[in-house]
Amino acid sequence: MSLKGKTALVTGSTGGIGEAFARAFAEAGCNVVINGFGDAQAIEKLRASLEGKGGKVVYHPADVGKAEEVAVMIRDAQRRFGGIDILVNNAVTRHYAPIEEFPVDKWELALAVNLSAAFHTIRLALPYMKQRNWGRIINMASIHATSVVRDRVDYVTTKHAIVGITRAVALETALTGVTCNAISPGWVLTPHAERQIARKMEDKGCSREMAMRELLEVRQPSRQPVLPSHVAALGIFLCSDAAASITGASLPIDGAWAIS
């Protein structure tokens, strides 16, 4: 699908699902603003490889957990491209601990990066979208926006809340050409999943295949990992005209995990 001439901003796109989104938007002809942490050389390599696909690609190093840095990133994107047509709130932080041992700073960080960042990007990007009467906002939720796990109070809470902000914004923009949806993946084959696989292989002294089988057994009835490119393809569909009436939804992509 061609989204030629549109500008997409994907937070946390230096790896994983965010990188897949950036790639898909670049391939669809968008100008893309990538963002996230990582090795400067690797980020530049990624930026250059995406720019070869069509539109312009710029990297912005904003820490999206800081409101003032989000504002600078949005302003820079507006200066460079006029405004943001497609916004993907994807950046994430995670910590694992029971609530009574959960470090307060990690909780504050999760609220800032996983939730408040979306509040700030949306409030700052929306006026341009409304002015053009076209816009697509995609918030990355998770299976854990509905299905709760232990010792992940930061993630579970912020993923529930991101669905809340998605619905609130969808209602406020319902009379416009802007849609706002959440995507709720199950277990996606990302660097985060690779770390889980490596840990399982070490704990059990087993093969990669066995580790993946065990991880999938307790999660996805499909017994297949979701691919980052499939999540991005769903995002591209949400940007199409055919998806103009889909707004306020939280769309699962989870091999039947949510219904199991």
| Beta partners for residue 135, in sequence order | 178
Segment (H or E) for 70: helix 67-81
Q: Residue 255, interface with ligand NAD (CB under 6 A)?
A: no
Q: Residue 110, interface with ligand NAD (CB under 6 A)?
A: no
3-state secondary structure of 49: helix
Q: Residue 181, interface with ligand NAD (CB under 6 A)?
A: no
Contact 170, 192 (CB under 8 A): no
Segment (H or E) for 250: strand 250-253
Task: Count the residues of the shown chain that bind ligand NAD, applying the rule CB under 6 A.
Answer: 29
Q: Residue 46, interface with ligand NAD (CB under 6 A)?
A: no
Q: Residue 185, interface with ligand NAD (CB under 6 A)?
A: yes
Q: Residue 18, interface with ligand NAD (CB under 6 A)?
A: yes
Q: Residue 64, interface with ligand NAD (CB under 6 A)?
A: yes
Q: Residue 166, interface with ligand NAD (CB under 6 A)?
A: no
Site track 201-230 with ligand NAD (rule: CB under 6 A), x = hit? ------------------------------
- Which residues, including other chains, have CB under 8 Å from residue 225's CB and lie 6 or more apart? 187, 188, 189, 193, 212, 216
Shortest distance in whole angstroms from residue 20 CB to ligand NAD: 8
Q: Residue 188, interface with ligand NAD (CB under 6 A)?
A: yes
How many C-beta atoms lie closer than 10 Å to residue 107's C-beta?
A: 17
* Among residues 8, 16, 137, 179, the one that binds ligand NAD under rule CB under 6 A: 16
* Among residues 31, 35, 166, 179, the one that binds ligand NAD under rule CB under 6 A: 35
Q: Looking at beta carbons only, is 86 or 134 nearer to ligand NAD?
A: 86
- Which residues, including other chains, have CB under 8 Å from residue 106's CB and lie 6 or more apart? 93, 95, 97, 154
Quote the Cα angle for 178-184-66, to 5°: 70
Q: Residue 160, interface with ligand NAD (CB under 6 A)?
A: no
Q: Residue 10, interface with ligand NAD (CB under 6 A)?
A: no
Q: Looking at beta carbons only, is 189 or 243 nearer to ligand NAD?
A: 189
Q: Residue 88, interface with ligand NAD (CB under 6 A)?
A: no
CA distance 22 to 241: 20
Q: Looking at beta carbons only, is 6 or 152 nearer to ligand NAD?
A: 152
3-state secondary structure of 118: helix
Active site residue 155: yes
Q: Residue 17, interface with ligand NAD (CB under 6 A)?
A: yes
125-161: b (≥16 Cβ within 10 Å) or e: bbebbbeeebbbbbbbbbbbbbbeeeebbbbbbbbbb
Q: Looking at the annotation, which residues are catalytic?
A: 155
Binding site for ligand NAD (CB under 6 A): 11-18, 35-38, 63-65, 90-93, 113, 140, 142, 185, 187-188, 190-193
